[in-house]
Amino acid sequence: MKLKKLFLVLAAGLLVFGCGKKQEAAKKTIRIGVSIPAATHGWAGGVVWAAEQTQKKYKGTDVEILFATASNPTEQANSIEDLLIRDLNGLVVMAQEPGPLTQVCKRAKEQGIFLTIVSNPLTEPIEDIFVNGDNTSFGEAAGKAIIKLLDGKGDILVMEGIPCPINTQRVTGFNEALKAAPGIRVMESQPANWNTEKGLALMESYLLKYPKIDAVWAGDDDVLLGAIKAYRESGRKDVKAFVGGGGSKLIVKPILDGDPLIKATVTYPPQMISKAIDETVVVLRGEAPPQKEIIIKSQIVDKDSAQEHYFPESVY
């Protein structure tokens, strides 16, 4: 009888121990590294802010977010190397330049780490998930906004981003959209490198070169801030509309308020980094299989739609 009781006690102990082990396994932390560019300009600042908000959202859950920012490709590659020694389950990367980062991302894959790439594709499609804004629709939306604002007729100038595949897709989409309005003529299209100071300098050059400008597409809201400053300081009154790109609150707010010059922008949400992290979590938790590609289309932001795209608490 005593032996039977002892056996029951031992069996109960093993059951409790086994349940404890199962609970411990269930609570195993999912560790995700996130590598993003430093906040060197407005949109990148929005990415950093969104990543920080997502990190806060998962605090106290089964997910630990470790993120590192970098101001150049070499620094970013090194920061990813540092993340790889942290026993990661997943890695989310927004590459400053794809070339220097492809090899280190390959090493992550060789270690069995789930890889999600955001916005800037690597030189080889080795990722498990690719999350991106739709750069062609970005340009198309801006082109449609210009057509509407000018009633399909006028002389315009374009301020492009950094020469790269993203910029090419945007400008191509813009030019394709303008084919619907043969009365609109692009007088010149030059890079402004997604930079406010470059936007100011390029607009000053355009103002000296062209006595009549009907509209300007600054393919980035940071560039638009510089272009607007140059135009207002010139004292000229000929430009009917400026259209930006990105969805910065510094541009969306004037649109919302009915600014006479800043008439529209298009979305390219920094929150795509949050979408990438969330999708990675879903897969690593086993809640759903990975979607190979997630594309977020751009939308026109004008006076009618500005309210739904205005996020005053964001840094961007």
Rounded Cα–Cα distance for residues 214 and 237 (Å): 10
What six digits make up the tokens of 241? 């509309």
Give the amino acid at 245: G
Residues 175 and 255 in one domain: yes
Does residue 149 sit in the same domain as residue 222?
yes
Q: Are strands 183-191 and 153-160 parallel, antiparallel or unpaired?
A: parallel
Tell me whether residue 315 is exposed, middle or buried, using C-beta atoms within 10 angstroms of its C-beta: 0 to 12, 13 to 18, 19 or more. Answer: middle
CA angle (204, 206, 212) in 5-degree steps: 120
Residue 260, SS3 per DSSP: coil
Structure tokens at 33: 């590294």
Q: Which two tokens stand for residue 297?
A: 């289309």
Q: How many other CB atoms are there within 10 angstroms of residue 283's CB atom?
A: 19
In a domain, 146, yes or no: yes
Spatial distance between the Cα atoms of 307 and 292, rounded to a whole number of angstroms:
32
- CATH code, domain with 250: 3.40.50.2300
Which residues, other chains included, contact 284 with Cβ-Cβ below 8 Å and sequence gap of 6+? 30, 32, 89, 90, 114
CA distance 177 to 144: 6
| Close Cβ partners of 135 (under 8 Å, ≥ 6 residues apart) | 166, 169, 170, 173, 268
> Is the domain of 162 the same as that of 262?
yes
Cα(170)–Cα(176) distance, rounded to whole angstroms? 10
CA distances to 86, 91, 139, 295 from 300, in Å: 41, 32, 10, 16
With respect to residue 307, please indicate whether it lies within any of the assigned structural domains: no
pLDDT value for 27: 58
Q: Is residue 84 situated within a structural domain?
A: yes
Nearby residues of 60 by Cβ (< 8 Å), 6 or more positions away: none
> Within this chain, do residues 128 and 142 fall inside the same structural domain, yes or no?
no
Verify that 77 and 148 share a domain, yes or no.
no
Compute, in degrees rounded to 10, the torsion defined by CA atoms 102, 53, 291, 266. Answer: -90
- Does 126 share its domain with 168? no
| Residues 143, 260 within the same domain | yes
The pLDDT profile of the chain, 316 residues, written as one tens digit per residue, is 444 444 444 444 444 444 444 444 445 899 999 999 998 777 888 899 999 999 999 999 999 999 899 999 999 999 999 999 999 999 999 998 888 899 999 999 999 999 999 988 899 999 999 999 999 999 999 999 999 999 999 999 999 998 888 899 999 999 999 999 999 999 999 999 999 999 999 999 999 999 999 999 999 999 999 999 999 999 999 999 999 999 999 999 999 999 999 999 999 988 899 999 999 999 999 999 999 999 999 999 999 999 999 988 888 8
- 63, β-bridge pairs: 30
What is the span of the domain harbouring residue 159?
135-266
152 with 260, same domain: the answer is yes
Same domain, 148 and 115: no
Rg (CA), the chain: 25
Query: Token digits for 97?
Result: 């330049």
pTM: 0.75
Asked whether residue 39 falls in the same domain as residue 116, the answer is yes
Residue 313 lies in a domain: no
Residues 194, 239 within the same domain: yes
Distance CA 18, CA 12 (A): 10
User: Does some domain include residue 247?
Assistant: yes
- Does any domain span residue 42? yes
* Domain shared by 97 and 139, yes or no: no
DSSP 3-state of 36: strand
Q: How many domains does the chain have?
A: 2
